Each structure stands twice: as structure tokens, then as C-alpha cells.
A and B are shown apart, each in its own frame.
Chain A
Amino acid sequence: MIRTMILGGALALASAAPLAAHDYTVGAIALDHPWARETAPGQKAGGGFVSIHNSGKTSDRLISGSTPVAAEVQVHSVNMDGGIMRMRRMTDGLSIAPGETVVLKPGSFHVMFVGLKQPLKAGTTIPVTLRFQKAGAIRVQFAVQSLIGGDHGSH
């Protein structure tokens, strides 16, 4: 509880001061603004989004993840060519080139929480461990956001 509050405070500080340190770092990988969409009771999957920066000299890959709230965490791509949405599981993971920032966002990449054990409720956070090929594992809190109020893609 206290830990959540401290984390909440840290997040608030981070968003108030854009030039502040990243939300999370492991090795050369920095993660910012992890968020997820709320889901309905019975809904089996949910999407998570986060900004990933690689400050290292070699590329790294987001290969997998895990969370107590779902059976699996998968890395997905979304392609919107020709007005058709095509979502694919990226079994080889998502490459983060040296010096680059890859933003997982609606209409692009996301992590999918597959086999949700409980609904993702707006206003709560869910603990997720993301695994990078080189940097290793990092535990991140995804903030669950409401679907009311329009598109969250602008975050």
C-alpha cells in the first residue's frame, strides 16, 4: 500500500516534470508511462502500452512478460493497411534499436494480457514483469485507464 503510494507520488512527479528521470530503468532500457485499458468482467484480453527507450550501444528486444492478473503477456503488432486491422503476435519479440525510443501505443505495438483472471479496473495499477533479451527483467506498474473520455493515444 505504502509502496503504491510512493510509486503514485513518483509517477505524479514524473508527469509534472517532463525532464525528470524515467519511470523505470533496467540496464540501458528505460520505460515511461506504462498504461493499460480497462476491461469488462469476463473479457479475456486487455492491451498494455508503454514507451521504451534504449540508451545502449546495441539493440535489445522486448521478448516476453508476465503478470499475476493474466495467464500470459504477449508482444503484439497492429497493422492498419487498407483500413483493415491486422494484429499479430511477435514471437521473436520487438526490437529496440540503440538510441531509439519505441512507443507501444494504440494502432501500433502493444503488450496483450491474455487470459485475464480479473477485470482491469480503471484507477488501479497492475504489476507486470517485462523481459528484455539483454537488459533482463523489470517490474513495472501499468496504470489502468478508463475508456470514457475519448482516445488515450495522445498520452
Chain B
Amino acid sequence: MARTDRLRLLVLAVFASLTPLALSACGTAPQNKAEGPGSAPFTLSGANGRPVSDYTLKGKPYAIFFGFTRCPDVCPTTLARMAHLRKAMGADGAKFAIVFVSVDPEHDKPADIGRYVDLFGTPIIGATGSKAQIDAITKNFGVFYQKVPQPGGDYTIDHSAIVILMDRKGHFAGTLSDSEDEKASLAKLKPLVA
């Protein structure tokens, strides 16, 4: 198993290193791979100990959100909202995945993230990674995050509060905003699972 994962990681790493070259070398040649947020391969460590990557997520649409477990406000609000939207979709709610990526790997270990996402009463894929992996995936998805020191020696993390939607092929399919109403969010989620 570990060997297969390592091999997959290697394949991903090779693919990741070749893609930019392929893009620049081919110039105007048509590409199968879409550009835009989330279009590059990525690999993270899942809360259950297994990798979470563009490869493991493929085949099912997903909504991805970046935050950290010590965020007492926007992160739980957003994840609770996603859980609520899924419930509102009835049977279709199970047809998309919810992914929570902690941008605080220094503090949030995969098991911590697993216990955190379990609070929301619906399956949520929790993940994080090394700083290099987090830097890569946030850049890939166009997500901002920045560690900010606080008085007293602690730190907080500023981060984008946006939910990014990806279709079942792993192509960018839009975003959900915390300021839009439930109807607007559902109108974006429904075509994804259709």
C-alpha cells in the first residue's frame, strides 16, 4: 500500500514537473487539461492517513475550503453552511464531496483535522500537508493565506473565505460566497451533481 502510494506520488510529481513544460512547449496546441483554479495536480495528507489529491477526488464534484481549526468563526460557519446546503439538496447532497484543507500544518495534524470535521454531522474530507504542499495548492486554487504574529507570541492566519467548486472532471466550476443566500448557493451546486 505504502509502495503504491509512493509510486502514485512519484507519478504525480513527475506529472506536475512536466505539465508547465508541456504547456510552454506546445504553445497554441489544444490542451485537454483545463486551466484556472485547481487545474494543476496536488497531493495532501488526508485526516484518515491516506493521501488526498486531484487523483483521489476525481470522479465526483467537490467543494473545497481552506482554513484552520483554531479559526473560531468563519471556518466553522462555512463548514456548517456547506453541511446545511448538502442537507437541503436531499439525495443529491451525497453526490458532491466537501473538502477542508488546513493551512496551519504547524498546528493542525491530520488526526486533529479529522476530529474537527467530524463535528459537522456530514462526511467532510479533511486534509493538510507540508508547507510546500500548502503553498502549492493555495497557489493552484488562487487562495490567499498568511501567517500573522499576534501579541503574546501566538499567531493567527489570514485566509480567503471562499468556497471553490470543482466538477467531476476536476475542472473549476465556480465559487460560493458567504454573503449570498441559500438559493443562490443551491443554484450553483445543483448543476454540478446533475
Which single residue of chain B is at the shortest CB-CB distance from A90? B151
Residues in A whose Cβ lies below 8 Å from that of B107: 44
The one of A78, A147, A152 that contacts B120, using a Cβ cutoff of 8 Å: A147
- Asked if B73 contacts A78 (CB within 8 A), the reply is yes
Task: Say yes or no: is A149 at the interface (Cβ < 8 Å to chain B).
Answer: yes
Stretch of A12-20, A26-34, A106-114, A132-140 on the interface side: A106-114
Report the bound CA distance from A37 to B121 in whole Å: 14
Task: Say yes or no: is A86 at the interface (Cβ < 8 Å to chain B).
Answer: yes
The one of B76, B148, B161 that contacts A80, using a Cβ cutoff of 8 Å: B161
Range, interface on chain B: 35 or more
- Asked if A106 contacts B73 (CB within 8 A), the reply is yes
- Asked if B74 contacts A78 (CB within 8 A), the reply is yes
Q: A44 with B115: in contact, given A84-B158, A85-B161, A91-B151 (CB under 8 Å)?
A: no
Q: Smallest CB–CB gap between B112 and chain A, Å?
A: 5
The one of A83, A85, A146, A152 that contacts B71, using a Cβ cutoff of 8 Å: A85
Residues in A whose Cβ lies below 8 Å from that of B144: 84
Which single residue of chain A is at the shortest CB-CB distance from B122? A148
Residues in A whose Cβ lies below 8 Å from that of B77: 106-107, 151, 153
The one of B72, B116, B177 that contacts A40, using a Cβ cutoff of 8 Å: B116
Q: Smallest CB–CB gap between A146 and chain B, Å?
A: 8
Task: Say yes or no: is B57 at the interface (Cβ < 8 Å to chain A).
Answer: no
Report the bound CA distance from A80 to B150 in whole Å: 18
Task: Say yes or no: is A60 at the interface (Cβ < 8 Å to chain B).
Answer: no
Report the bound CA distance from A152 to B156 in whole Å: 23
Range, interface on chain A: 35 or more
The one of A47, A91, A149 that contacts B72, using a Cβ cutoff of 8 Å: A47
Which single residue of chain A is at the shortest CB-CB distance from B74? A85
Report the bound CA distance from A58 to B13 in whole Å: 63
Q: Smallest CB–CB gap between A81 and chain B, Å?
A: 10
The one of B69, B121, B150 that contacts A147, using a Cβ cutoff of 8 Å: B121
Task: Say yes or no: is A42 at the interface (Cβ < 8 Å to chain B).
Answer: yes
Q: Smallest CB–CB gap between B113 and chain A, Å?
A: 9
Q: Smallest CB–CB gap between A85 and chain B, Å?
A: 4
Those of B75-119 within 8 Å (CB) of chain A: 76-77, 79-81, 83-84, 107, 111-112, 115-116, 118-119
Q: Smallest CB–CB gap between B90 and chain A, Å?
A: 15
The one of B73, B74, B151 that contacts A89, using a Cβ cutoff of 8 Å: B151
Question: Which A residues form the contact surface with B (CB < 8 A)?
Answer: 37-47, 76, 78, 80, 83-89, 91, 106-107, 110, 112, 114, 146-153
- 30 pairs, CB–CB < 8 Å, chain A vs chain B: A42-B111, A43-B116, A45-B69, A46-B72, A47-B73, A76-B73, A80-B178, A83-B160, A84-B158, A84-B161, A85-B67, A85-B160, A85-B161, A87-B73, A87-B158, A89-B152, A91-B151, A106-B74, A106-B76, A106-B77, A107-B77, A110-B73, A147-B76, A147-B120, A148-B80, A148-B120, A149-B80, A150-B81, A151-B81, A152-B80
